[in-house]
Structure 1
């Protein structure tokens, strides 16, 4: 018997083009699982997909429209024949690239991501392959857990991806973060729990957020420096050592500074491009020479395999790490169409006057569906960390580099 479902469909023409449609979901077949989706989180990639801008990875079988979004937490409602891993009632999370189970990502696997070209999770129900799910952390709410698939796994791979499975990194290392987006805040939480010497959000002038350390239960020593020379501040804070691990989310406008403040033998993870996809004007950095000069490792990260996702969830459970939920909205076309899916719209009155600045989106938006059929859906607007609004203007002129003491 099929299941009635509600979906949002994008024609790659922007947020205003999202259509809410009714659909019938067939019963799960062999090796498949029917999931009732309770919470969906929005990432930077999802907005690019909705706007038709996510075109730098080859996709197989991409159609004229898509159900967007990749991150969800839900409950198993039915299982198909031969499914032994899951049972009705299990809380589960989606994986971003289901075919990427372990090891190095392949072109074939990345071309079949959830949310493009495979149908995404912005729906009340969806069929998944049984291997495309992992167990949700027991200590998190559905809304918290729905933020893990993209941002947290990417952050986890940035700190641990170059190490063998089970050998966690970050301890006694300087971890440098750029911005207060989902990846940056997840990495901050992971680095703190790992016993990193330092983690430093936000690190460049255009980031419009100040991390409230009290929200993470951390004590920071803060160093303030002029934003244009933040790489020098990193070297000062680390007493000339530099950052052992850098999560490079800025792109063209920040990569050279990342090279300049990396530790000898350090790791630069190329994760994002919030400064734009184009090249910078003027002289281009000699990446080959910069890498050789400090024997650095330069690694591109899209996400991570299923086994590393499961490894991360165990780490989150061990250290009881929680994303921070900020607001809840009803799931309605009006709510989605208002502002809550815009990546920078948290403070539109400020951003509209700062078009020349780069901005790492400080929010993570989630869509949550209640199990109660009479109230089928709500929208959850959440941060990975509390944002202190009074410091936003100051952060246009200064950076703050925070030292994180090792865990006891």
Structure 2
């Protein structure tokens, strides 16, 4: 290993209070030393940290790097010791390679097309308006996370999968435990098992009496009940948590950048580029792992077979070589191609739904409440811990003039 390789020995514990939109300083420093660094995992594994845009994108597109869960035995923050990690359960395709990955993803691709998701715009507008009405009726202050950011994506993904409305709260509660970064191991296991029990019953119900939803459509094929259960779990978790955190953190960011917010209010057509810029600027899906299936040369370094690589989306999307003035939130930015939804075969399946939800929700929120502002000092807004898979805020107290 060349002596000049920069080494990171610990992942950052927290972001800067009051302005949690930038990547952690330690990761930005690593990228300044080059697009790839050595990383020492808590269990002693010598891995790599990729922070540059071009390299992150290259690894995501390279089949020599695996997404298989059983090969990624090195957590960037936790030492699991000698625990044997099993392969992902049937249907949980995010943690699989081809051909297993394709078996589950391909039946879903046609159900999440741009055209089909845009057809849902009217329903998103209706749900958004209902929650804005409820906020207005309740009066300030409110927690935007529980009143607005969580319900919109939760309702949409539950309706797409055919989850009864009355059961939506169960998923919000258990997904929060699984992905929020604060639950104990025992609480996470219990939440996972409870969701799996529910989904098993839901799949059985859809087979017996199909309705007009994605899960019912999937029963008309060769997928087993266990596979459908795993697919439903991935869609529920991914379709809810990421968008909920983008809505809350995105609102926080806009409130902290009044000139950009004013531009969005003045020009509704800015909603589309504004969403893309917020996705790039915030990168709530912070890092992903890949494992080398063979020796791979990357930026002059050999990534040895079996080595785990951390891909930093947040620094890739702030790479000055790809995005001029990358730390500035500029809703009119012309440079596209951010990696907030990933790249390659695992690029986010529900990205078009997330875009529709955000393009509707942000302008509607600020149009309804022109004087919307934080109800607490910015540095008192509680952040999700760095152990959470998705970056965001735990709550966002807001108020407005009545």
Higher strand share: 1
Between 1 and 2, higher relative CO (CA 8 Å, sep ≥ 6) is seen in 2
Is the pair's TM-score, using the shorter chain for normalization, greater than 0.5?
no
Higher helix share: 2
Which TM-score band applies after superposition, normalised by the shorter structure? under 0.3
